[in-house]
Amino acid sequence: MKKLLLSLTIGVMAFSVSAQKKIEWISTTESSQWVIQKGLTAVPASGKSDVEILLEKPLQTIEGFGACFNELGWTSLNSLEKADRESILKELFAPGVGGNFTICRMPVAANDFARDWYSYNETEGDFEMKNFSIANDFQTLVPFIKNARQYNPALKIWASPWSPPSWMKWNKHYACASTGADIDKKFQNGLDKTKQGKEGANQFIQKDEYFKAYALYFSKFIKAYRDQGINIAAVMPQNEFNSCQIFPSCTWTSAGLAKFIGSYLGPAMEKENVEIMFGTMERPNIALVDTIINDALAGKYIKGIGFQWAGKKAIADAHQKYPNMRLYQSEQECGDGKNDWKYCSYAWTLMKHYLDNGANAYMYWNLSLDKDGFSRWGWRQNSLVSVDLLKKTYTYNFEYYLLKHVSHFVMPGARLLETNETKANLLAFINPDKSIVVIVRNDEKADKKINLKIGEIAINQLLKADSFNTFVVK
């Protein structure tokens, strides 16, 4: 800590000495995205400021930003000309170019944005996993990830299943809830309503041979991807384990997950040198986390926790109770497929909430979708990139520029910084190279002047109405 404070003090002195140095400033509004502003110069701090960035009070370490590799992300990008597809992947993943993504999620077999349901072994009773195969993924997820890693070989990937093989669930189906027969046939899942699951109950068959087989399933997944040159850094045992959905899903009790992690998945992943994080947590109930963390067997394997959707209301409690635990925002809320500015503004409040409450990493959801944004099961959602399949054209959506305002400048190893104003509509970071990054939101309908104090310098600038602004001080 003494070394860190000394380093920060030196940084403050450097700001004082070079007070006339120009500052990088990028702004985004609904009508103009990613505008590089000219001529901004820092001045010596004097008088009262609106907000002071507290350089001497670094908070949690940032691991990075990214999104999720989904099958429909690849099929949409792969419909473009190769040069366009590669241009997008370079923009998203190449260090220093655009999105600068450093950590991403992937599904273990099918999720709700798969082409259709599949698992890596649908042979009922194959407890030895003799018929395990990732053959489906060679068409989508494997090339998707490999192409991304061409631009960032250091890209960190973690994975979670939406459903185990259907025969490992008591209803013998990939879904938990029935779509019924009163919707478009192409969106139906065929599950009989008498075989629906429910929150607070284990859909996974709670027997030793099933637990062993499922842990082996995870191990084979890790090895199969490793054989493709793709290392999985961590797994979470179940996406949204409380949510009974019409698409691939599986409800668990926290006690059921504790048993699976503590006696089966934990030892299996330890052998593969793969971390286990608990999640994904989509309920505002810290007791669900406590059950796992405080379990004598499961707790020792948990290296972090993933939160999404209503789980955002539990992350503050988790950060307070387990201050040394890594916390991920594991999936940004997905919108309605309109990709409009209003939702982009809402996404900022999500990002700020998670990071202000201890998140070490922040993941968007769909990297790319066709312009209509529908899933196989009829749920229309937002994406960073929208592709017109007929015209073979693409668009970067508002939320991409918002995420880029942070991810382009905030490097892995950065620390979030406190401010002296708890209601300040901004996020501030100090990078490993000691550069300071401040992202400011002006959500008012009129232009607004802001006075930021950063060490011994100040930034006095008029911010456009309804805008996002990133300032970088080196």
What is the count of structural domains for the chain?
A: 2
Of 367, 385, 409, the position where a domain reaches its end is 409
pLDDT level of residue 9 (50, 70, 90 thresholds): very low
Among candidates 279, 274, 333, which has minimal Cα distance to 304?
279
Asked whether residue 115 falls in the same domain as residue 244, the answer is yes
Asked whether residue 47 falls in the same domain as residue 144, the answer is no
Burial of 41 (0-12, 13-18, 19+ CB in 10 A): exposed
Which pLDDT belongs to residue 177? 98
Asked whether residue 253 falls in the same domain as residue 389, the answer is yes
Q: How far is CA 182 from CA 108, 196, 407, in A?
A: 30, 17, 43
pLDDT level of residue 223 (50, 70, 90 thresholds): very high
Asked whether residue 27 falls in the same domain as residue 75, the answer is no
Q: Could you tell me the two tokens for 230?
A: 């793709």
Asked whether residue 306 falls in the same domain as residue 324, the answer is yes
The arithmetic mean of pLDDT across residues 361-365, rounded, is 98
Burial of 438 (0-12, 13-18, 19+ CB in 10 A): buried
**Cβ proximity of 404 and 98 under 8 Å:** yes
Q: Above pLDDT 90, what percent of the chain?
A: 92
Which pLDDT belongs to residue 20? 57
Asked whether residue 172 falls in the same domain as residue 79, the answer is yes
Among candidates 345, 280, 337, 341, which has minimal Cα distance to 312?
280
Identify any residues that bridge with 204 across adjacent strands, giving them in sequence order. Answer: 169
The CATH number of the domain holding residue 200 is 3.20.20.80
Which pLDDT belongs to residue 21? 63
N-terminal to C-terminal alpha carbon distance within the chain: 22
| Residue 414, domain member (yes or no) | no
| Residue 448, domain member (yes or no) | yes
The CATH number of the domain holding residue 11 is 2.60.40.1180
Asked whether residue 34 falls in the same domain as residue 69, the answer is no
Q: Could you tell me the two tokens for 321?
A: 């109770």
- Mean pLDDT in the chain? 95
| Residue 231, domain member (yes or no) | yes
Asked whether residue 20 falls in the same domain as residue 139, the answer is no
pLDDT at 125 over 60: yes
Q: What is d(CA 248, CA 165) in angstroms, rounded to the nearest whole number? A: 10
The arithmetic mean of pLDDT across residues 296-317, rounded, is 98
Asked whether residue 133 falls in the same domain as residue 147, the answer is yes
| Residue 221, domain member (yes or no) | yes
Q: Are strands 361-366 and 64-68 parallel, antiparallel or unpaired?
A: parallel
Asked whether residue 155 falls in the same domain as residue 136, the answer is yes
* Residue span of the structural domain in which 185 resides: 63-409
Asked whether residue 387 falls in the same domain as residue 432, the answer is no
pLDDT level of residue 111 (50, 70, 90 thresholds): very high
Asked whether residue 344 falls in the same domain as residue 447, the answer is no
